[in-house]
């Protein structure tokens, strides 16, 4: 079985998108989908190419119990990434526009969505109001807010992916099962 592929995208791929990648991996694993879904991240800019996750992002993730691994290196998103993923999650409306511009003209590519569009508290907000602010310019509190926004949408992303995989929760919360057709 080919895994379902998800990519999170921000500006430089050192704060928001790797934070979302780590949170989504954790939530997907907890949902029993860790083997069925691959999550990675990138940025629309090459300005941080090769850099690790920002130390402040790593610190807030660690404080909240997430694994922070040392292997991440920032990279710029490509049109091949958009074609090669099933779901691409933008952190801002500007990122979404850049991703849609990279999408193949034949429509054979990822679904591009705003990450926060999966947050129940943001339901019905227009795309331009779904931005996750860049914490890079702020202090620890900005990274906390960023993580909270990422976490608030993560379960919605998991539910969306579960639906795309044709899975539903079993009664009683015993994990995934294939939907009867």
Q: Catalytic residues, which ones? A: 10, 16, 134
**Sign of the alpha-carbon dihedral angle for 66, 94, 152, 147:** positive
Strands 167-169 and 87-90: unpaired
- Report the alpha-carbon distance of residue 145 to residue 41 in Å, rounded: 20
- Report the alpha-carbon distance of residue 181 to residue 51 in Å, rounded: 47
Within 8 A by CB and 6+ apart from 69, the residues are 22
C-alpha distance from residue 159 to each of 10, 51, 115, 150 (Å): 22, 32, 13, 15
First to last CA, the chain: 19
Tell me the three-class secondary structure of 61-85, residue by residue.
Answer: HHHCCCCCCCCCCCCECCHHHHHHC
């Amino acid at each position: 079985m080919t895994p379902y592929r998800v990519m999170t995208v921000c500006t430089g791929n050192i704060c928001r998108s790797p934070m979302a990648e780590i949170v989504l991996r954790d939530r997907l694993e907890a949902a029993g989908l860790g083997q069925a879904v691959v999550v990675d991240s990138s940025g629309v800019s090459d300005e941080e190419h090769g850099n690790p996750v920002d130390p402040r992002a790593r610190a807030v993730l660690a404080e909240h119990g997430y694994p922070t691994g040392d292997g991440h290196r920032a990279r710029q998103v490509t049109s091949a990434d958009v074609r090669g993923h099933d779901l691409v999650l933008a952190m801002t409306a500007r990122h979404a526009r850049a991703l849609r511009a990279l999408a193949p003209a034949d429509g054979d590519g990822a679904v591009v969505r705003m990450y926060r569009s999966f947050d129940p508290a943001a339901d019905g907000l227009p795309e331009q109001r779904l931005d996750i602010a860049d914490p890079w310019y702020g202090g620890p509190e900005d990274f906390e807010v960023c993580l909270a926004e990422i976490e608030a949408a993560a379960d919605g992303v998991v539910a969306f992916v579960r639906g795309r995989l044709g899975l539903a929760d079993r009664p009683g919360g015993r994990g995934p099962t294939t939907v009867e057709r």
